Amino acid sequence: QSALTQPPSASGSPGQSVTISCTGTSSDVGGYDSVSWYQQHPRKAPKLMIYEVTKRPSGVPDRFSGSKSGNTASLTVSGLQAEDEADYYCSSYAGSNNVIFGGGTKLTVL
């Protein structure tokens, strides 16, 4: 199995919007509505930000949104804030009780 493909880095200025992509195949991202996104600050555990492509857990700001088109999922952060600077990982169910992650994207708030 191959990891999902994410850009290594992304950036934006405070108040702007930034979108991070996550590309897989029809066997994972494209085949199931089970894409999730995680935020990880340095030396901290990952935090679930989006699940089932578009759903936000309680407490996650609505500035974070998810979407999917074909084999590519996206995380959009609107109204960027300094505290959004972190690593972001996507994950997808890949069938046969298997789960895969993306390689991660470092988001920099300029």
Pick from 77, 61, 75: nearest CA to 7: 75
Using CB under 8 A as the binding rule, whether residue 34 contacts another protein is answered as yes
Q: How far is CA 10 from CA 6, 27, 39, 49, in A?
A: 10, 26, 14, 17
Using CB under 8 A as the binding rule, whether residue 93 contacts another protein is answered as yes
Q: How far is CA 30 from CA 22, 26, 56, 61, 95, in A?
A: 11, 4, 20, 26, 11
By beta-carbon proximity to another protein, the closer residue of 12 and 66 is 66
| Candidates 11-19, 49-57, 61-69, 74-82; binding stretch for another protein (CB under 8 A) | 49-57
d(CA 66, CA 37): 8
Using CB under 8 A as the binding rule, whether residue 36 contacts another protein is answered as yes
By beta-carbon proximity to another protein, the closer residue of 57 and 79 is 57
Using CB under 8 A as the binding rule, whether residue 57 contacts another protein is answered as yes
| Strand-pair category, 9-12 with 105-109 | parallel
Select the residue interacting with another protein from 9, 52, 69, 108 (CB under 8 A): 52
Which residues contact another protein by CB under 8 A? 1, 3, 34, 36, 38, 45-48, 51-52, 57, 89, 91, 93, 97-104
